[in-house]
Chain A
Amino acid sequence: MLPLLAERCFLCHGPDEESRESGLRLDTRRGALDGGVFPGDPDASPIIRRVTSKDPDLQMPPPGSGKNPLTAAEISLLQDWIEKGANYELHWSFRPPERPKIPGSNFSRRARSAIDHFVWARLDQKGLTPAPPADRHILIRRVTLDLTGLPPSIEEVDAFVNDQAPDAYEKLVDRLLASPQYGERWALWWLDLARYADSNGYESDRSRSIWSWRDWIINALNIDMPFDQFTIEQIAGDMLPDATPAQRIATGFHRNTWINEEGGHDWEQFRYESVVDRVHTTSTVFLGLTMACAQCHDHKYDPISQREYWQLFAFLNNADEPDFWVSDPKIRERQQQIDAEVARRIAGRAAKFPPLDPATTTSTDQESRQKHLKTKFRAWLQDPSNRPIHWTLLDPRSAKSAGNATMTELDDHSILVTGDRPEVDSYQIVYELNSPRVTGFRLEALPDARLPNYGPGRGSFNGDGAFVITEFQVDVVGLAPSPAVDSALETKPRPNPTQQRLEFVHAYASYKEQEISHSIDGNKLTHWFIAGGAGQRHVAVFETKGPQEFPAGTRIRVTIPQNFVHQQTLGRFRLFVTGTPGPLHPNPRPTSIDLLLLKDPEARTEEDQISLQDYYLSIAPELESYNDEIQKLQASRPRFPTTFIFKERKQKDKRATHIHVRGEYRRPADVVSAAVPAVLHPLAAGAPRNRLTLAKWLVDEQNPLVARVIANQLWQSFFGQGIVSTSENFGVQGAPPTHRQLLDWLAVELRQGGWSLKSLQRQIVMSSVYRQSSRIPPELAKRDPQNVLLARGPRLRVDAETIRDIALEASGLLVETVGGPSVFPPQPAEAGETFGGFKWKPSTGADRYRRGLYTFRKRGGPYAAFATFDAPAPNTCTVSRGRSNTPLQALAQLNDLVVLEASKAMARRVLRNFPNSVTDGVRRAWRLALSRPPTESELTALIEFHKRQLQRLEDGSLNAEAIYGATANDDEQLRALAAMTTVARLLLNLDETITKE
């Protein structure tokens, strides 16, 4: 009854309060009884009068509503339901699955598993008969493609076909499930759901590094990580106790959203959009619910209110989105080598100081070197141009970001800025001055591994780590209410400092000096712009107009507007003050060295002296080239790759979640707290309302949906369609399951089988249903064209990536390296052109022949051949791909460079083994592409084709060199290779080659 009411009535009489007409609600019994339905009395029930009425003013659904009137059969169904008491049952998918009783059928003898009984009982009812088992050649290709995404080798085919053991197939399945290619094949399923891509999307569409997450998926699938753990780690791995690096990497799942980096964007708006996408993806992937509908209004069909949508949003609204360095032992080893070498060279610096008079001293004369060094070092110490400035580090009392970034004070009193990443920002930091005299301030921008490209800025657009200082402003705001000062006040009141903005007359910088004056010019359009100096410390000094006197405890507020584009704001910085008379031109020395220089030479300890000399050695002109070498070595220190992760914000920084009117970003309304929809199972009692709790809730054993939804997705991968054909929607509007009991049985198997995906997949491929022949008897084609009843095996064109993999595997070109950065197979140059000058630079060497899974997923311009074969643009969560059949696909397969390279390699491969027999060679090539042996007529067709091409190559109307290239021993061999290349190209274009039959 529910689907009928949902389809015809809920749009106006459903859960959505706002669009509800006449106050009548038909999705709950209570609502229906309140004016629409009189249980037991259909004739008196207004609903029956309305649906049977011919009066356009009364008739329901109203004419023009786009909803068809009820048929006679539907009306009688409705009457019957009211007659029997108008009982409402919870929609099937909201009730937990129970293990159903296994039915019997006429075909029970052939059944191997419960799956067969469920499917065949239904066939029996329909008067259909299961198909005979598939031919063994076909079967091994089918199951190998399904479990590994690759075709079997000829040897594997022959071994299986000839294996008479009763468990031959079982052994095959177990071998495939254990192969590393299994994880690659099934990662493709998950990558579609996760909208994985290697670029950020929107205008800039910059490349991103998140392949470590993709590799985490491959590994998790290969080790058969239980699906509940698989889910929890991806949704909230960062929040697990003592989270491992792998668990943090797993949270990349929800970092696969778009990032807008266009200049002048509203960062928070696009963060909001990405959380919207996360809610949508979470509910689609794990619940099979179309939660997105409730973003703007109560769900029209399912019992999910708008408030509940935003309550779910709240769980996902509290994460920061940092990069994470992924440790790699090989890189670490190299880093350690370099560090050791750098330390060795630094230690050896003094010994490399040139001797006093190189002409007369031997190179081993250390005494002369020492003497020379001593002289120069002393001269440096006494050089008046090295005048030290007494910088005092200030301790921030409070810090605020106008753009809601998170400001954290570190031990060295610097402020680290993380969290929100507004396009522009302005910081306000309050300090206290405890030195009486002020002549200037020094702002020190510090590199940090937590910042993009090590900072010191937060910019991550064409200048990672960049920042600007638009203005540097210091306001004297008053006296600090410190207890020490207050007690002093009792005896002698301090003069209150005048509230004022300090005037700066000079600004100096250690980098981009010519621009630093912009930071004190009062112009909000000009900046001190640090780009290109990533990973380094930068210093700016602001000199006041003459010395200023302030009482101890004077509070100043430093304001730093950073008003450019591309999030180029300061990431880590600290502030010093000085009373040393100007000019305050900064020097590159660390503060500690200046403090030592300020010390009375007599009072310097031996350690001080060593520190000073070490510093001197690092800048001595005599050692310039030696030090340059050290710097080069340091610069060559490799970094770990990064990946995108989630990091839950601290309680104090928790974001408020609002309901948004009509889902609009700019219309926040009531604040809500995290909660799950009431129609589903409750959260664990007493659990904190956070993302980890949500993750656990998703895979809670009480969840009626998740096991069904996942089992259905897996089923869809094998059979082309789910038991619920709307695999993304298990709600009231979704398609009813074709085999409800089977679905529940699979769901219970999955949950009770320790959430093992591999065992469920094993159950499916071991079934006789799966092993049926996929031939379509004409009678069946009429009765069940979509193969809903499964009276035959699946016959489906393989996915875009698999089409590539088949060609590479058949040709022997495939490089089976698992994981690593994404690669760029060749494609026509214009296909890879996108806004902003991105160029698709084809990979060379091994990376040219990696599996399709590893092809760089560019949001702004997806890899052309894959897009042609229905690979989804990685924009949003995709639960099922289209499977079209178009002329553009034919062109791609006929003319794509990848297929051509594979054809040539296939020709080489075949001719290496069968240099003398065309028939054997052609048969071999056939089997490389299709696994099974050709029929006589198929073979004849190919041999004739080969003959015609060879003829033309010999008479010169075809050019062997043009077709194959010029790498053969002699003309005859070249012609043979060219002819076989044309055969291989043909084979890779056969329907069956790109079909799982």
Chain B
Amino acid sequence: MALATLFGEAHLFGAKPNTPESGNIHPHTAKASHLKPRAKNVIFLFMAGGPSQLELFDHKPELNKYDGQQVPSEVIEGFDLPFIERDAALMASPVSYTRHGECGAEISEMLPHLGSVADELAIVKSVQTDAFNHAPAQIFLHTGHLQLGKPSIGSWVTYGLGSDSRDLPAYVVLGQTAVSGGSSCFNCGFLPTVHQGVPFRSQGAPVLFVENPAGVDDQLQRDTLNTIRRINSERLRTVHDPEIAARISAYEMSFRLQTSAPELMELSQESAQTLAMYGADPVQPSFAGQCLLARRLVERGVRFVEVSLSGWDHHSDVVGSVRKISQKVDQACAALVKDLKQRGLLDDTLVIWGGEFGRTPMVENNPALGRRRGRDHHPNAFAMWLAGGGIRAGTTIGKTDDMGYQVVEDPVHIHDLQATVLHLLGMDHEQLTYSYQGRDFRLTDVGGQVVSKLLA
């Protein structure tokens, strides 16, 4: 019996829509519309903790004027501040900004490398979200909902588009997966488990359980799998359950994953030049190495790669701390964009950089918490950037008020961002739905508008 015909073998890791997924009792039909896709893959550089837009992208020279003054109460009226007091003082940023590239994008001194790819970027200085605590905001960024149990954006994308990889999961998460929002950030919610974000380690065996147990060599593993197949096949001939066929091919694919995974992780295969461009060490795990790995995954057909980096929650010494983490991030992010471009992958690959919220223009000083010259969580206006995959390169959109507190031009809500990402992948965010518990759910809940200014 031709097993592959019994089950869409090639897509076991990221079942294509309209493939009847065995045993799934929920209706499972992606309603991807007929938009022309601009991107095929996504690399989401998730900066967990809330990077300070004021030290990175949102240049506010006017803030110098107000430095040390109490924030006007009308500015913050109706908004919540988790840690700081309502009479907190505004704090100017001592960071200098330079214009980069032909587009003249303003990027701070913290990100010199990123400046070198400014003409590839679309910087959004007016992102808004609905939550001001880490876990809810991270879950909102990923799932579009504050309520729990909804699928992550990576799951939605693989649900809508399936995967081109035979050997690898469709949605891979690299880096620090132990984020505030926990596994809910990468969870498939009510979508079938095949759409779950699969965490990859950046060293050694990438996937959980991918290594043979002690004493089991490849020959024994192969012999075991052959014998399992022999016995399962006999049972299939007796009971005719297609699930057995699916299991047989799943076991075969697990072996392929076991053999292909080590090769995938071999960063030493990359040229010295490439490694140097990222600042990656082929042996020591690093954010740079993960960015490089993200490219290798995309090359191998993985649909959605997320690189997660914690450490952006700068309640204290915001300037020093942003400087420190930027040194870890800047070169690798710029290298990723360049590398994708050089290899002709940037057109098909959408790169997104950002965190769950930004930081207040007001200072956070709190002796009891040991905090000095930090910034608090700020959901009203923060910055992200996108590149590749149908993005209008060399643009900056969105404007905030003099204090950087409120958006005054081109607000981009998280739902708008999500709608735009789906749009670039050829999906209408209102049509990509999944019926669960009596309701058609979508990533963008009941909101979201494609941000046309971001489209090429």
Contacts and interface: CB of A to CB of B under 8 A. Distances in A.
Interface residues of B, number: 94
A991 B431 contact: no
Contacts of B21: 884
B123 to A, nearest CB: 28
Interface in B201-242: 201, 207-217, 219-221, 223-224, 227-228, 230-232, 234-235, 238-242
A880 to B, nearest CB: 6
Contacts of B439: 290, 292-293
A543 interface: no
A265 B133 contact: yes
B395 interface: no
A294 B325 CA distance: 45
B250 interface: yes
A526, A894, A937, most chain B CB atoms within 10 A: A894
Contacts of B253: 887, 890
A321 interface: no
Given A203-B181, A529-B368, A886-B250, A725 B25 contact: yes
B148 A986 contact: no
B422 interface: no
Contact of B232 (A525, A868, A990): A990
A938 B239 CA distance: 15
B85 interface: yes
Nearest to A944: B227
B193 A864 contact: no
Contact of A835 (B12, B133, B180): B180
Nearest to A297: B446
Nearest to A861: B183
Interface string A219-249: 0000000000000000000000000000000
A541 interface: no
Given A265-B133, A884-B21, A900-B213, A273 B239 contact: no
A402 to B, nearest CB: 14
B62 interface: no
B24 A884 contact: yes
Given A882-B23, A883-B24, A945 B223 contact: yes
A205 interface: yes
A556 interface: no
A790 B350 CA distance: 47
A874 to B, nearest CB: 9
Interface in B385-401: none
Contacts of A949: 220, 223
Contact of B183 (A734, A860, A879): A860
Interface stretch (A163-171, A615-623, A689-697, A825-833): A825-833
A964 B12 CA distance: 33
Given A775-B239, A778-B240, A978-B215, A859 B182 contact: yes
A66 interface: yes
A796 B23 contact: yes
A887 B23 contact: no
B215 A721 contact: no
Given A882-B24, A892-B209, A990-B231, A795 B241 contact: yes
Contacts of A941: 227, 230-231, 234
A273 B146 contact: yes
A22 B376 CA distance: 48
Interface in A710-760: 720-721, 725-726, 728-729, 731, 733-734
B144 to A, nearest CB: 15
B380 interface: no
B184 A892 contact: no
A860 B179 CA distance: 9
A195 to B, nearest CB: 8
Contact of B437 (A292, A564, A945): A292
B272 to A, nearest CB: 29
Interface string B186-212: 010100111010110100000111111
Contact of B247 (A868, A885, A952, A957): A885
Contact of B257 (A728, A859, A887, A963): A887
Given A263-B82, A266-B80, A887 B13 contact: yes
A525 B88 CA distance: 11
Given A292-B439, A989-B228, A720 B220 contact: no
Given A828-B209, A882-B23, A982-B224, A726 B438 contact: yes
B166 to A, nearest CB: 10
Nearest to B84: A264
Contacts of A883: 22-24
24 contacts: A201-B135, A205-B182, A264-B83, A264-B133, A781-B240, A796-B23, A865-B209, A873-B183, A875-B184, A883-B22, A883-B23, A884-B193, A887-B251, A890-B254, A892-B208, A894-B212, A895-B211, A896-B209, A935-B234, A945-B227, A952-B219, A958-B217, A962-B214, A991-B235
Interface of A: 66, 201-203, 205, 258, 260, 262-266, 273, 276-277, 284, 289-290, 292-293, 296, 301-302, 468, 524-527, 529, 564-565, 720-721, 725-726, 728-729, 731, 733-734, 774-778, 781, 785, 795-797, 828, 830-831, 833-835, 859-862, 864-865, 867-868, 870, 873, 875-876, 879-880, 882-892, 894-897, 900, 935, 937-938, 941-942, 944-945, 948-949, 952, 957-964, 978, 982, 985-986, 989-992, 995, 997
In the A-B complex, list the 7 residue pairs whose CB atoms are closest, starting with the nearest: A264-B82, A860-B182, A290-B438, A962-B215, A963-B215, A883-B23, A890-B254
